[in-house]
Amino acid sequence: MLVGIEMPVLPIDSERYGSKEMKEIFEESSRLKYILAVEAAVAEAQAELGIIPADAGREIASKANIKYVTLERCKEVEKKIAHEPANIVEVLVDVCEEHAKPWVHYGLTSNDLLDTATSLQIRDAMRIIESRMREFTILLAEMARRYADLPAVGRTHGQHASIISFGLKFAVWASEMLRHIERLNQLLERVLVCKTLGVVGTGSVMGEKALDVQRRVAEKLALKPIDAATQVVPRELHAEVVFFAAILASTLDRIATEIRNLQRTEIGEVEEPFRPGQVGSSAVPVKRNPIRSEKVSSIARLLRPLVQVALDNIPLWHERDLTNSANERFIIPMSLILLDEALRTMTEVIKGLKVNEESIMANIQKTGGRIFSEFILDLMLKKGFPRISAYRIVQKASERTDVPFIDALLQIPEVARILSRKEIEGVMRPDACLAASKLIINQVVDEVKRKLSIPGSSFPQTA
């Protein structure tokens, strides 16, 4: 055991995972700031509406900050009363002048503070996530355009299928990322809610003015007032946040998995960035492992099961119980901090990705021309050959490994009668097999430019 060295219980508490700016949102001191911001906004709104005295509202709002309500003092009180955020309320009452003390936390319940503070945390975290998503999407679009003219093997079931543009891979991912950005914007319209309706969602002692208070608080905090709630906001809102993190992480996992496969020694088409002095294997000096992509896949495996926990939090008893409380302290921060880490990591991979064009071209030729069978079949169909018969002939020729594919074809009398060597060679050119790839890529690039409002005619160049 190491003595005198602070060891984090979870890796997420160390510098290994998560950016500084994202983790700060979920630190205890930040959580306290968000909660106090809600208390201040409520006091101001209640004073404006004449529910509490104006001087009390000003006093509470002026003291509802960490200069007066310190984290240390809140922890001391919590040790005695075993309740959050009642500990925060008690400290706030202590620091306020006597005339304001009766009006602190007036008409509120604990989850008015906690749930609204969570909305503020989600809002600020998603600003970081959206910025990362935009950067990554633009990067993918630029890579799609850069490699639009590069033919490559298209694989299905792990087997060579036909020719694609290498840039099409990136275009597909960029298009998927655009949908995620749209999902995020739609999500935020629903989940960034303010709730100040008291112990069972009726507005409690604030009476009919309760809705006016909630509207004003929502405006002050740049949130939306919840339409209806119990003591807590419906947990389907939080479940949607966790689901979004999981589905976006799964797209990043998909990209990471493709890169891991393409970096396999037998394929060798791409390679993750590898820093000078970096060690790939403690035993094998020549190894360059795709560790960043593997990390992204690993994070995605952790995020996906959190969706089940979030779904289980939706059916609470009556107006609420505490079965959601403990796990939400994990699943929401973990989902967003780890999603941020996966996005940053995948961006780093794509920025520094080494594309081995020689290997890509060599892999096209690996099957001796068999990858062009789709186009040979098309030639025969256009000559009037029945589809099934043509399919069987091309399939039979592909089974011969003793001669090049084109020779195997021409040694079949039915083929030799209708096709010349020159005609076959004409469709066995990789650059002639890209079909609509460039049109698709240009379409996606244009959509990225339009939806992300990118000025000019070009994207920032990658490293």
Active site residues: 157, 281
The residues, ordered by sequence, that sit 6+ positions from 409 with a Cβ below 8 Å of its Cβ are 376, 394, 397, 415, 419, 424
The residues, ordered by sequence, that sit 6+ positions from 248 with a Cβ below 8 Å of its Cβ are 133, 180, 339, 343
CA dist 421 and 410 (Å) reads: 7
C-alpha distance from residue 166 to each of 268, 294, 341, 431, 440 (Å): 14, 22, 27, 11, 12
CB–CB of 144/441 below 8 Å? Answer: yes
DSSP 265-282: TTT--EE----TT--S-S
Range 190-193 contact pairs with CB under 8 angstroms and sequence separation of 24 or more: 190/237, 190/240, 191/119, 191/122, 191/237, 191/238, 191/240, 191/241, 192/119, 192/122, 192/123, 192/223, 192/224, 193/115, 193/116, 193/119, 193/218, 193/223, 193/224, 193/225, 193/226, 193/233, 193/237
CB–CB of 54/47 below 8 Å? Answer: yes
CA dist 231 and 227 (Å) reads: 13
In this structure, how many other beta carbons lie within 10 angstroms of the beta carbon of residue 238?
Answer: 24
Whose tokens are 């976006």? That residue is 248
